[in-house]
């Protein structure tokens, strides 16, 4: 497969996953912001919105651009903004353009699905959001993401293209598992007892579970009341949670092993180290050692893995003699 094709497909999946997680971030933030005032008297109205933007490192940008941080400006920035390359609008635009460039490598249904999504979000503006409500838009984004994932799984052959799409989905989702946790977690929220400190905290952690569609999973797995320590474990270490860090890095490791086809590549080693790191971790150890430092270290490793994926598969340098493997593939593809 061409490097450019692999790169484009990887980013199609990342963009779609990013749109979905952006919607989920908006969801959790909106839930927290709706916290009854009597429970959260001390806090300014903008606090949850600022926190959401902080998780993306975008608070200063939004403040400079809009002059204030609140529900309206954050929603505009995350859903509609043309200047924010990761807004839902831009995610679907770029994903559709990449898919159009790569329509040879994907199925007609996949392109049609993204085209439909783009036609839908192209017309999105503040008026539509007011009419339908932010909640309805969040649901639409999640549905479009699910539709694209479904049509991909249901129609695309399990070749390289499929694998690169999966890499994009799961590296993006891993990144967001950490950022979303970061929105509600802070050091003093995670005492040794793991009990929710008060009603406010209980509400915030519940909001996170709901925004991640993980409430039922949590209840089933832990049969416990909402407890920050256990939720952190669910988000980071639990292989049964489809959005946990553990699920994502395990998937990345497996896909990369498949792509390497038995060759010992640095990119496989990095993914394996990342998967092992959380597989054999204990949540209490992570919290004792400092959750924020652990999360930051994980984010850094994910960035390095992303760079290594790019170096290994998407940037064939000039002047290399073709590898023996490339030769054998070439014969196959022409057979």
Partner 1 sequence: MQPRYDEMHDAGGNVRPHYRAFDDWVRHTPAPMLEHKRREAELSFHRVGITFSVYGEESGSERLIPFDIAPRIVPAAEWAMLEAGLRQRVHALNLFLGDVYGEQRILKEGRVPKDMVLGNAQYRREMQGLAVPGGIYSHVSGIDLVRAGDGEYYVLEDNLRVPSGVSYMLENRRMMARLVPELFARQQIAPVERYPDFLLEILRQAAPAGVDAPVVAVLTPGAANSAYFEHAFLAQQMGVELVEGADLFVHGRMVYMRTTRGPQRVHVVYRRIDDDFLDPEAFRSDSLLGVPGMFDAYRAGNFTIANAPGTGVADDKSIYPFVPEMIRFYLSEEPILHNVPTRQLRDPGDLKYTLEHLPELVVKEVHGAGGYGMLVGPASSKAEIEAFRERILAAPEKYIAQPTLSLSTCPTFVESGLAPRHIDLRPYILSGRRIHVMPGGLTRVALREGSLVVNSSQGGGTKDTWVLEADADGANA
Q: Which residues bind partner 1 (CB under 8 A)?
A: 1-6, 97, 100-101, 103-104, 108, 111-112, 115, 160, 164, 259, 313-316, 318-323, 325-327, 329-331, 333-335
Distance of CA 102 to the CA centre of its chain: 23
Closest to partner 1 by CB, 1 vs 299, is 1
Q: What is the dihedral of CA 31, 37, 41, 46, to 10 degrees?
A: 50
Residue (91 or 138) nearer to partner 1, CB: 91
305 CB burial (10 A radius; 0-12, 13-18, 19+):
buried
Q: How far is the CB of 306 from partner 1 (least distance, A)?
A: 15
Least distance (Å) between residue 319 CB and partner 1: 5
Nearer to partner 1, 121 or 203 (CB): 121
C-beta of 7 vs 20, nearer to partner 1: 7
Nearer to partner 1, 6 or 181 (CB): 6
Integer Cα distance of 194 and 228 in angstroms: 6
Residue closer to partner 1 by CB (options 303, 316) is 316
Residue 171's closest CA among 294, 2, 9? Answer: 9
Closest separation between CB of residue 334 and partner 1, Å?
5
Give the nearest distance from C-beta 314 to partner 1 in angstroms: 7
Torsion of CA 231, 244, 88, 117, to 10 degrees: -120
Burial of 33 (0-12, 13-18, 19+ CB in 10 A): buried
Beta carbon of residue 327, minimum distance to partner 1 (angstroms, whole number): 8
Of the candidates 189, 74, 76, 173, which has an alpha carbon nearest to the alpha carbon of residue 124? 76
- State the minimum distance, in angstroms, from the CB of residue 147 to partner 1: 15
Tokens of 119: 């036609």
State how far the Cα of 161 lies from the Cα of 6, in Å rounded to an integer: 6
The distance of closest approach from Cβ of residue 263 to partner 1 in the complex, given in angstroms and rounded to an integer, is: 10
Closest residue by Cα to residue 8 from 82, 120, 144, 111? 111
- The distance of closest approach from Cβ of residue 142 to partner 1 in the complex, given in angstroms and rounded to an integer, is 23
Q: What is the DSSP string of 226-283?
A: --HHHHHHHHHT-TTSTTSHHHHHHHHHHHHHHHHTT---HHHHHHHHHHHHHHT--H
Closer to partner 1 by Cβ: residue 110 or 295: 110
Nearer to partner 1, 276 or 326 (CB): 326
């Amino acid at each position: 497969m061409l490097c450019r094709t692999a790169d484009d497909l990887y980013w199609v999946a990342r963009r779609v996953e990013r749109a979905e997680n952006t919607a989920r971030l908006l969801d959790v933030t909106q839930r927290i912001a709706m916290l009854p005032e009597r429970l959260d008297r001390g806090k300014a109205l903008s606090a949850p919105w600022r926190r959401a933007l902080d998780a993306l490192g975008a608070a200063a940008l939004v403040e400079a651009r809009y002059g204030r941080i609140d529900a309206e400006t954050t929603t505009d920035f995350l859903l509609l903004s043309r200047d924010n390359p990761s807004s839902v609008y831009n995610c679907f635009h770029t994903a559709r353009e990449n898919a159009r460039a790569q329509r040879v490598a994907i199925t007609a249904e996949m392109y049609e699905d993204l085209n439909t999504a783009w036609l839908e979000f192209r017309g999105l503006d503040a008026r539509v959001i007011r009419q339908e409500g932010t909640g309805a838009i969040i649901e639409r984004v999640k549905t479009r993401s699910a539709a694209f994932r479904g049509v991909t799984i249901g129609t695309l052959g399990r070749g390289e293209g499929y694998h690169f799409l999966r890499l994009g989905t799961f590296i993006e989702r891993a990144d967001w598992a950490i950022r979303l946790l970061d929105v509600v977690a802070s050091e003093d929220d995670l005492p040794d007892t793991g009990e929710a400190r008060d009603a406010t905290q209980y509400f915030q952690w519940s909001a996170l579970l709901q925004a991640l569609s993980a409430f039922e999973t949590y209840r089933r797995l832990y049969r416990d009341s909402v407890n920050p320590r256990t939720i952190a474990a669910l988000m980071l270490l639990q292989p049964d949670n489809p959005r946990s860090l553990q699920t994502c890095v395990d998937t990345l490791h497996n896909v990369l092993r498949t792509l390497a086809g038995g060759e010992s590549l640095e990119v496989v080693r990095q993914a394996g180290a990342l998967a092992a790191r959380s597989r054999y971790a204990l949540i209490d150890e992570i919290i004792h050692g400092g959750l924020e430092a652990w999360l930051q270290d994980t984010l850094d490793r994910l960035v390095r893995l992303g760079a290594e994926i790019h170096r290994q598969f998407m940037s064939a340098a000039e002047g290399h003699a073709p590898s023996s493997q490339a030769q054998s593939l070439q014969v196959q593809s022409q057979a």
